[in-house]
Structure 1
Amino acid sequence: MDTSNSAASANKATLQTPKYPNQVTGMYILARALRTVGITNMYGLVGIPVTDFAYIAQEQGIRFAGFHHEQNAGMAAATHGYLTKTPGVLLTVSSLGFLNGLTATANATVNCYPMIQISGSSEREPIDLEQGTYEGLDQLSIAKPLVKAAYRVNKPEDIPTAVVRAYRAAISGRPGGVYLDITTPCLGAIMNMADAEKLFYKPVDLVPAMVPSEESVKRAVELISSAKKPVFLIGKGAAYAQVENKVKQLVESTGIPFYPMSMAKGLMPDNHPLSAISCRSTIMQQADVVVLIGARLNWLLSRGHGKWNSDTKFVQLDIDPQEIDINRPIAAPVIGDLDSSLTAILSQLGNHKTSM
């Protein structure tokens, strides 16, 4: 046997072996994009077409908590968002799984919890033409009226941008639920890894401070300082913003009593000397100035009517200007994030003590 010819043939074969670039799917890109913005936990129930995505997400360091029902998983994701001030992520399958999860996402929107629901969906063409396809539900159209924002992704190249937009929408301004619709062709699409790596970027300043105007702070301070029977109403927004130290400083530096709403329990002790937790009706009937700190003047407060004194004036600290004047005229709206608003008010209010 001519070993030299055999070796030459082997070398030739080796040289002619084709080389292919490393390739990844849209599922990998989605997992990497979530991890890049800081997502480390995900809740849901897997199935077609997102099962492999859940495995890939775990490989990227995202912890996946599986549930027996999407609504329970969604409530967990919403609670995660409320407690951490970062979006809780819910993963569902298409159609009925999507609908089960949407209940929680809509609830997160109404109650101001940052949350992102990611659902796989069927290919667009047979859905748009109503030709009958596997779980052919137009999920984006259903979700849009019920959530803060909704986006559909059809190409893997758009996944990182969609994830960043969903994240910003969930936590910016008044937090809420966001729906991210990822089509099956997008999840299964293949890209060269080198090209995919160019898509990822770490977003800058995801939660910028929203500082209130000096004029609004001055107006609020003047109204509080002139009050005879003022009271602070502390709401869920204060609990979410985690501003308990500044709330405590405001209460104790002014000597103004406070009343915590149910979701703000724990920010201040119930047995604090300035706690008005036992005299809610008295507050409604006698307070001449009420300062709403991250609290809505909604059904929990009789929408400002009923037992409320018709002459009561309101100061409202809120991040959303659309919340102002919804039930009673607000004499001094302060629009900004609560940390910035409380800091500004404390700096101007000084050590004013109420005369009540």
Structure 2
Amino acid sequence: MSTAPTATTAENANLTDGFHVLVQSLLKNHLDRIYGVIGIPVTDVARIAQAKGIRYIGLRHESDAGNAAAAEGFITGKPGVYLTVSAPGFMNGLIPLKEATENGWPVIMLSGSSSRELIDMGEGDYEGMDQLNFAKPFSKAAYRVDKIEDIPLVVARAIRAACSGRPGGVYIDLPGDTLGQTIAQDVAESLLYEVNDPAPAQIPAPSVIESAMELLASAKKPLIYIGKGAAYAQ
């Protein structure tokens, strides 16, 4: 004999969590590939991403994942994304993050981390590192998300930071308890951002173009060396 669903069951059916909001935020911005090495607390990021149509490519070392994501960013001009677990996995992922930043490659590193209150109080949590501050010297920008409502915003800001101006590596710190937070699905959908023109064209001043043309016109054997920044700007 079946029974009618309780109010609690109906309410829970309308909830989503940080894992799903993160995946939705990536899909909203057409980031459909993740490289990584999974484990607690980000295993469900990869699982849900696969279920939603994102291709997850698992590697055997976080540096390989970061290098693959950076290569994608270099080739496409949009951020490559890679995923690491906390502490040792995070530390392994810092090397390609630094390389991407130094070389001007757009890439986003997503890393799980321990609960903030345990780290800040020095309570010796499992793999309890202050990863945000560790990552800052290795990245163009670094963010930590403490509320589920801010996940779409941090993804949008990371995309813009990775692509605009001189491209580089961006770090997003994802504490396990933030990923486990819940929110109404309709509210989550209303918070999603799609970044508009993350790398706007930087038009040189007309006087600079005139000077360049005069120099080329007077040159006998001109050599023009164009880097990837010019290629990204088309």
SS of the equivalent of 2:83 reads strand
Q: Which residue does 2:103 correspond to in 1?
A: 111
Q: Kindly indicate whether residue 143 of structure 2 is the aligned counterpart of residue 151 of structure 1.
A: yes
Q: Which residue does 1:204 correspond to in 2?
A: 196
Normalising by structure 1, report the TM-score.
Answer: 0.62
Q: Deviations over 1:328-348 (max 9, x none)?
A: xxxxxxxxx4x3xxxxxxxxx
> RMSD over aligned Cα, in angstroms?
1.8
Normalising by structure 2, report the TM-score.
Answer: 0.93
Please show how residues 68-87 of structure 1 align to structure 2 within 5 Å.
Answer: 68-87=60-79
Q: Which residue does 2:131 correspond to in 1?
A: 139
- Deviation, 1:169, is 0.7
**Shift in alpha-carbon separation, 1:236–1:17, aligned structure 2, 3 A:** closer
Distance in 2 between residues matched to 1:68 and 1:182, nearest whole Å: 21
Q: Which residue does 2:186 correspond to in 1?
A: 194
Q: Deviations over 1:211-236 (max 9, x none)?
A: 11111111221222223443223434
Q: Which residue does 1:64 correspond to in 2?
A: 56
- Deviation, 1:207, is 2.4
SS of the equivalent of 2:223 reads strand
Name the amino acid aligned to 2:131: Q
**Shift in alpha-carbon separation, 1:158–1:214, aligned structure 2, 3 A:** same
**Shift in alpha-carbon separation, 1:205–1:236, aligned structure 2, 3 A:** closer
Distance in 1 between residues matched to 2:152 and 2:159, nearest whole Å: 11
Q: Which residue does 1:100 correspond to in 2?
A: 92
SS of the equivalent of 1:232 reads coil
Distance in 2 between residues matched to 1:129 and 1:212, nearest whole Å: 50
Alpha-carbon contact 2:141-2:170 (below 8 Å) kept = yes
Distance in 2 between residues matched to 1:236 and 1:171, nearest whole Å: 12
Q: Deviations over 1:288-344 (max 9, x none)?
A: xxxxxxxxxxxxxxxxxxxxxxxxxxxxxxxxxxxxxxxxxxxxxxxxx4x3xxxxx
SS of the equivalent of 2:105 reads coil
Unmatched 5+ stretches in structure 2: none
- Deviation, 1:202, is 2.0
Q: Which residue does 1:285 correspond to in 2?
A: none
Q: Deviations over 1:13-65 (max 9, x none)?
A: 74x84332421110100000011011010000000000011111112211000
> Looking at both structures, which has the greater relative contact order when contacts are Cα pairs under 8 Å and sequence separation is at least 6?
2
- Deviation, 1:133, is 0.6
Unmatched 5+ stretches in structure 1: 1-9, 242-336, 340-356
SS of the equivalent of 1:204 reads coil
SS of the equivalent of 2:216 reads helix
Name the amino acid aligned to 1:207: A
**Larger radius of gyration between Structure 1 and Structure 2:** 1
Q: Kindly indicate whether residue 17 of structure 2 is the aligned counterpart of residue 41 of structure 1.
A: no
Q: Which residue does 1:246 correspond to in 2?
A: none
Distance in 1 between residues matched to 2:185 and 2:224, nearest whole Å: 55
Identity among equivalent pairs (%): 49
- Deviation, 1:129, is 2.2
Name the amino acid aligned to 1:134: Y
Please show how residues 235-274 of structure 1 align to structure 2 within 5 Å.
Answer: 235-238=227-230, 240-241=231-232
